[in-house]
Chain A
Amino acid sequence: MQRADVLIVGAGHGGAQAAAALRENGFQGSVMMVGREPDMPYERPPLSKEYLAREKEFDRILIRTAQFWEDKRIAMLLGTEVVGIDPAAKVATLSSGRTIGYGFLIWATGGDPRRLSCSGADLVGVHAVRTHEDADRLMHQLDGGARRVVVIGGGYIGLEAAAVLTKLGCSVVLLEALPRVLARVAGESLSAFYQAEHRAHGVDLRTGSSVECIEGDGTKVTGVRLHDGEVIGADLVIVGIGVVPCVAPLIAAGATGRNGVDVDNFCRTSLPDVYAIGDCAAHANRFADHETIRLESVQNAVDMATTAAKSICGLVAPYEATPWFWSNQYDLRLQTVGLSTGHDEAILRGSPASRSFSVIYRRKGMVVALDCVNMVKDYVQGRRLVESRAQVDRGALEDIYQPLKEL
């Protein structure tokens, strides 16, 4: 049986950073990375942005070159996945039946796109945007002349895809079941702003609109039927309704976790020498008042990877990174710092009409997050307010002539 001193399961942002960080921190043992996709680690955010828009080809979104992984002695086992773990024997089983022993295991599998539960969800022409293959399939259909697009879900992925496809000349209908887009991650003023922007760019954006089923001609999609009976004709449908953490083998092996897998502040699961990082890792986050949450972001995947790698190298550095996030749509650069979940006040700084403004979120008087649209200065200067849970006068936060760094 083959054995790796550290076996990394998942070759996304988290897995790649875990491997790199192990070497950076002096780890000399064998490291193997198992990835379900055939590709070496690549950046996912561009899949719904520059890659989809064909501004960047695939080679340019690889996280590292093949040579890098070779130089760092990171063995890659791609196109296969871990389906079982024996935590007592410290052995992982691959889908092929092959087994690999490990000293430490880092679980970095992220999540799978949540699928529609209605009929027609499997029709040709229904896409997620999570993997290289997803994006290529979608782009192939665009090359074939598909122009009528329905996007289901008004989260970041859906909105980014809608922005790119509109620019590419598609007619786009975006359906959000809740009363506003970005409801899970942002305040009402930001949602209203993005809704107006998408509509101004020609997107038929509908909120409070729920899908009955996907209609097809037997094999491929022809339209989307809404609850009210309307059918929207479509050549392709993009489903962006969240991800489901990929943790079944870990949970089956006895790891605790109800939404993802539970980890402590060193990213250790309840199984011996098994770590979990990234989208699938449920952790008590200091920026969420120590509530147990999962964070689906590159920042979280990369910073947790570093935490796990350092812990394996014997360095004590608990996970307490400041959450940040970005989303590019049209010519709008959104940058978020902190977590706005649970805020009781959303303070507008600047005017959305100017397309350059910030929303500052407070909870019990403390600054907990900022959403900054084309307003890098606030994003940079607001970070300190978030990190220190600053209690700042509302009037000062609203005053655009008063730099946040002076508060």
Chain B
Amino acid sequence: MIGECRVRGVQGGKLSYRRQGTIMLAIQVIKRSGTTQAISAAPGISLREALRSHGIDELVALCGGCCSCATCHVYVEHGPQGMDQVGSPDEDDLLDCSVHRQPNSRLSCQIALDDTTGPLVIRIAPAD
């Protein structure tokens, strides 16, 4: 499945596509090593869950995605307008835990993937 959703560039237009009746979202993940992995995810889950499902093990995500820690920190490099902005004051405060915070920092557990998501390029933030 991963092989079928290569993303050749973020300017490439509509990256979400229909596959066997289900829209799959294409996400490029830049890992801490600098290597890029293309993954696909079904809408209706969080970005954190999509990353976990594809074995991206750099994110610890200790609290299981309930916005109680800051261990699923990512940078939104390219995405729909507004996705690189925090979704709540709690998320904003939690991101302050990280010395690696940038203007495009998000907690991946707080990014809901839906049909309108994508094209999406995210980078895993360094561990604190």
Q: Which residues of A contact B (CB under 8 A)?
A: 17, 20, 23-24, 43, 45-46, 49-50, 60-61, 63-65, 67-68, 71-72, 298-299, 302, 324, 326, 328, 333, 335, 376-377, 379-381, 383
Contact = CB atoms under 8 A, between A and B. Distances in A.
B100 to A, nearest CB: 14
B51 to A, nearest CB: 11
Given A61-B64, A298-B62, A298-B63, A380 B94 contact: yes
A65 B97 CA distance: 28
Contacts of A379: 93
Nearest to B93: A376
22 contacts: A24-B57, A24-B58, A49-B66, A60-B49, A64-B52, A64-B55, A65-B52, A67-B55, A68-B57, A71-B55, A298-B62, A302-B62, A324-B69, A326-B63, A326-B69, A333-B66, A333-B90, A376-B94, A380-B93, A380-B96, A381-B96, A383-B97
A328 B66 contact: yes
A192 B93 CA distance: 27
Interface residue SS majority, chain A: helix
B64 A45 contact: yes
* Residue of A20, A302, A380 contacting most chain B CB atoms (<10 Å): A380
B89 interface: yes
A114 B93 CA distance: 37
Interface residues of B, number: 23
A381 B52 CA distance: 29
Interface residue SS majority, chain B: loop
Interface of B: 45, 49, 52-55, 57-58, 60, 62-64, 66-70, 89-90, 93-94, 96-97
Nearest to B46: A60
The 9 A-B pairs at the shortest CB distance, nearest first, are namely A326-B68, A376-B93, A68-B55, A43-B64, A377-B93, A376-B90, A380-B96, A380-B97, A380-B93
A335 B68 contact: yes
Contacts of A60: 45, 49
Given A376-B89, A380-B93, 15 more contacts: A17-B60, A24-B57, A43-B64, A50-B66, A65-B52, A65-B53, A65-B54, A68-B55, A72-B57, A298-B63, A324-B69, A326-B66, A333-B90, A376-B93, A377-B93
Contacts of A380: 70, 93-94, 96-97
Contacts of A328: 66, 68
A335 B94 CA distance: 11
Nearest to A374: B90
A344 B48 CA distance: 40
Nearest to B55: A68
A380 B53 CA distance: 29
Nearest to A297: B62
B52 to A, nearest CB: 7
Nearest to B71: A302
A64 B57 contact: yes
A49 B70 CA distance: 20
A43 B67 CA distance: 15
Contacts of A333: 66-68, 90
